[in-house]
Amino acid sequence: MKLPFAEPFKIKMVENLKRTTKEEREKYIKDSYYNLFNLKSELVFIDLLTDSGTGAMSDIQWSELMKGDESYAGSRSYYQLKEAIKDILGFEYFLPTHQGRAAENVLFSVLIKKGDIIPGNSHFDTTKGHIEFRGGKAVDCTIDEGFDPTLNYPFKGNVDLNKLERVFKENPIEKIPFVIVTITNNTGGGQPVSLENIKQVSALCKKYGVRLFIDGARFAENAYFIKEREEAYKNKTIREIVKELFSYVDGMTMSSKKDGMVNMGGFIAMRDPELFREASVFNIMFEGFVTYGGMNGRDMAALARGLYESTEYDYLEYRVKQVEYLGKKLKEYGVPILEPVGGHAVFIDAKRFFPHIPQSEYPAQLLGVELYIEGGVRGVEIGTILADRDPETGKERFPKLELLRLAIPRRVYTNNHMDYVAVAAANVFEKRNDIKRGFKIIYEAPIMRHFTVKLKRL
Ligand SMILES: *Cc1c(COP(=O)(O)O)cnc(C)c1O
C-alpha cells in the first residue's frame, strides 16, 4: 500500500481547548451580537479566523528566543536575520518592521506621491489602504480567470500582461513608481502566481523602467505551487525556486506573521542601497532604529529560523495538503467551495450554500454564525459586511462573491480537527433549508464595519 500522508512533526507541548455545548454557544454568539470578532477565543473550539500570526513555532524557534540579543543598535539577532534574508531571498538590504502593513507604510512613504498609479494583482486591503491614503490609485491587473470562482486554473493569481502594458501606455510613466505582485494572491483566495508570469512581468517592467516589488507574505506557499504545477520547476528545490523568483524583482514587503512562521513581525527587503537609505529615515521615524525596527531581538532570531523552516518541502507539502484535505472533505459532503483550493484557506460559497437568503441578509455571516453554533468553529465573512458601503452613495455594496473563509493556522491543528470542521459544516448544510432568514445590522462603524458590527436575527 502507498503510505498515507502524515504531519512531518510531533507535538512537544499542547494547549488545551475548551469544549462548550451548542446551547452555550448560542448564548455566546447572541451576546456577541452575532459578530465572530467579538467572541473570546477561549469560547472557540477550532479557530480558523485567520492564518496571520496564529501559527506554532518550532522547538528550535523557541530556543532562538532564549538566544535573542536585545541590544538597541547592532543586535546579533538583526545580523542573523540579515544573513537569512540574503541566503533565502537574495536581498542585500533589509529593514525590520513590526508587521506587514508597517513595511508598506515605510516603503510607500518613499515611493508614492499623490496621483501615482500602482498596478498589481488584487492588492491586499492594507496595501490598497496605504496606496490610497497617499492619494495613489491601485489598479488591479489580475487575469480574468482569477475572477471566476468555478474555474479550475493552476495560477489564478497571475498578472495579465496586456492589462499591465495598457496601464503603462495610457499613463505618464513617471506616475507609476512601481508594480506590486502579491504571492500568493490573498484577496483572490490564496491563488498562486507562476514563475513564468513573474519573469514576464519583470521584463515588461524593465522595458518601461518601472520598479517591481513582491508582497511576499506567502512566498513559500507560492513556491510550493510553482514546484507542483509548473513543469519547468518540478525538479528544483523550494529554495532554488524562491531564489530565482526574487532575482527578478527590486524588493519585497513581508508580513512575517504568515510564511515567516512567527506570531508578529515584518520587513522590507531590497537591492538598491539608495532606496535603503531613504527608507531607513522613515523606518526610524515610524518603527525604530534600523537594526530593530519595532521587533524584539529574540523575535528577529525566531524569524530568521522561520524563513528556513517555511521553505522546507516537507513542511510545505503538509501545509498545502492539509488545506486541500479540508477542501476535499467539504466537497465530499456536498458543501460548495471555491476551486482550486488556495494555499492557506478554504472558502465556502455562501450564495450556493444558502440560495434562498438574499445578500442583504448577509448569508456568509449567517453561515459563519451557524458553523460556530454547530461546532464551535470560527471562520470569517468575506462578503457583504466586509464589502462595506459605497463611500459616495452610502449604499451597501453587494460583492460578486459571498464567502466564508476558513483559514488554517500553520502547524496548529491536525487532520482530525479538519474532519471535525468538515462534519460541522456538513451538519449545517444538511439543515440549510430550516434556516430561513439572515440578519439585519443594528450598529455599524463608518469604515471597516466588519470588526465592530452588531447584528440581530431576522
Ligand atoms: C497580512 C498581509 C499583509 C499585511 O500584513 P500585516 O502583518 O497583517 O500587517 C499584506 N499583504 C498580504 C498579502 C497579507 O496577507
pLDDT, tens digit, for every residue of 128-141?
A: 989 999 999 999 99
pLDDT in tens, 375-430: 999 999 999 999 888 878 989 999 988 999 999 999 999 999 999 999 999 999 99
Tell me, yes or no, whether 119 and 155 share the same domain. Answer: yes
With a 6 Å cutoff on the Cβ, whether 124 touches ligand 1 is yes
208 and 153, same structural domain? yes
In a domain, 89, yes or no: yes
My answer on whether 28 and 164 are in the same domain is: no
173-231, pLDDT tens digit by residue? Answer: 999 999 999 999 877 678 999 999 999 999 999 999 999 999 999 999 999 999 999 99
How many Cα neighbours within 13 Å face the side chain of 405?
Answer: 21
Report helix, strand or coil for 412. Answer: coil
Contact indicator for 219, 236 with CB cutoff of 8 Å: no
Residue nearest to atom 6 of ligand 1 (CA): 100
Q: Is 189 a pocket residue for ligand 1 (Cβ < 6 Å)?
A: no
In terms of DSSP H, where are the helices of 237-296? 238-247, 273-286
Q: Is ligand 1 within 6 A of the CB of residue 127? A: yes
**What percent of the chain is predicted at pLDDT more than 90?**
92
Whether the pLDDT of residue 148 is over 90: the answer is no
pTM of the predicted protein model: 0.95
The CATH number of residue 209's host domain is 3.40.640.10
Question: pLDDT at residue 305 above 80?
Answer: yes
Convert the pLDDT of each residue in 13-71 to its tens digit: 999 999 999 999 999 999 999 999 999 999 999 999 999 999 999 999 999 999 999 99
Mutate to test the pocket of ligand 1, among 97, 106, 126 (most ligand atoms within 8 A of CB): 126
Residue nearest to atom 8 of ligand 1 (CA): 100
Decide if 17 is inside a domain. Answer: no
- Whether 415 and 354 share a structural domain: yes
Q: Is 148 within a domain? A: yes
Q: Using DSSP bridges, classify how beta strands 211-215 and 251-255 pair: parallel, antiparallel or unpaired.
A: parallel
Query: Domain boundary residue among 285, 310, 335?
Result: 310
Residue 343 backbone phi and psi in degrees, to 5: -85, -25
The pLDDT value given to residue 400: 86
Write the CATH number for 423. 3.90.1150.10
Q: Which atom of ligand 1 is nearest to the CA of 101?
A: 9
Asked if the structure places residue 6 within a domain, the reply is no
Q: Are residues 201 and 267 in the same domain?
A: yes
Helix axes 195-208, 238-247, angle to 10 degrees: 10
Whether residues 446 and 358 share a domain: the answer is yes
How many domains in the chain?
2
| Residues β-bridged to residue 94 | 269
Residue 14: in which H helix or E strand, if any? Answer: none
Q: Is residue 11 part of a domain?
A: no
**Longest Cα–Cα distance in the chain:** 63
Contact between 362 and 387 (Cβ < 8 Å)? no
pLDDT above 70 coverage of the chain, percent: 100
What 3-state class would DSSP assign to 414? coil
| C-alpha 166, offset from chain centre | 28
**Same-domain pairing of 423 and 284:** no
pLDDT for 17 = 96
pLDDT value of residue 113: 97
Using most ligand atoms within 8 A of CB, pick from 257, 263, 451 the residue to mutate for ligand 1: 257
Please report whether residue 345 resides in a domain.
yes
- Answer for the pair 181, 212: CB distance below 8 angstroms, yes or no: yes
338's grid cell: 471555491
The reply to whether 185 and 283 lie within a common domain is yes
φ, ψ at 254 (rounded to 5°)? -140, 130
> Grid coordinates in use for 308?
528556513
Q: Cα(393)–Cα(371) distance, rounded to whole angstroms? A: 33
**Any domain includes 9:** no
User: What residue's CA is closest to ligand 1, atom 7?
Assistant: 100
Helices within 390-435 (DSSP H only):
415-430
CA distance 90 to 94: 11
Q: Both ends of the chain: CA-CA distance in Å?
A: 53
289/165 same-domain check? yes
Q: Is residue 133 domain-resident?
A: yes
What pairs with residue 347 in β-bridges?
405
- Calculate how far, in angstroms, residue 410's C-alpha sits from the geometric centre of ligand 1: 15
Nine cell digits for residue 114: 499623490
- Ligand 1 centroid–CA 125 distance in Å is 8
- 36: enclosing H helix or E strand: none
Q: Which of 294, 310, 326 is the last residue of a domain?
A: 310
pLDDT at 185: 87
Task: Please report how the helices 297-310 and 59-67 are oriented relative to each other, as an axis angle in degrees rounded to 10.
Answer: 150
Q: 5 alpha carbon to ligand 1 midpoint, in Å?
A: 30
Q: Residues 119, 207: one domain? A: yes
Categorise residue 185: left if φ over 0, alpha if ψ from -120 to 50, beta otherwise.
beta
The pLDDT assigned to 188 comes to 67
State residue 24's pLDDT score.
98
Q: Which of 53, 48, 44 is nearest to 408 (CA)?
A: 48
CA gyration radius, the chain: 22
Q: Which residues contact 281 (CB under 8 A, 6 or more apart)?
A: none
Residue 233 has pLDDT above 90, yes or no: yes
Q: Which residues pair with 158 in a beta bridge?
A: none
Q: Which residues are catalytic?
A: 72, 124-125, 215, 217, 258, 450
* Same domain, residue pair 43 and 100: no
Domain containing 287: what range? 59-310
Of 252, 279, 310, the domain-final residue? 310
Pair (231, 349) in one structural domain = no
Which H, E and C letters describe 128-186, residue by residue?
HHHHHHCCCEEEECECHHHHCCCCCCCCCCCECHHHHHHHHHHCCHHHCCEEEEECCEC
Give yes or no for residue 266 CB within 6 A of ligand 1: yes
Average pLDDT score over residue span 255-259: 98
For CA atoms 201, 203, 205, 211, the dihedral sign is positive
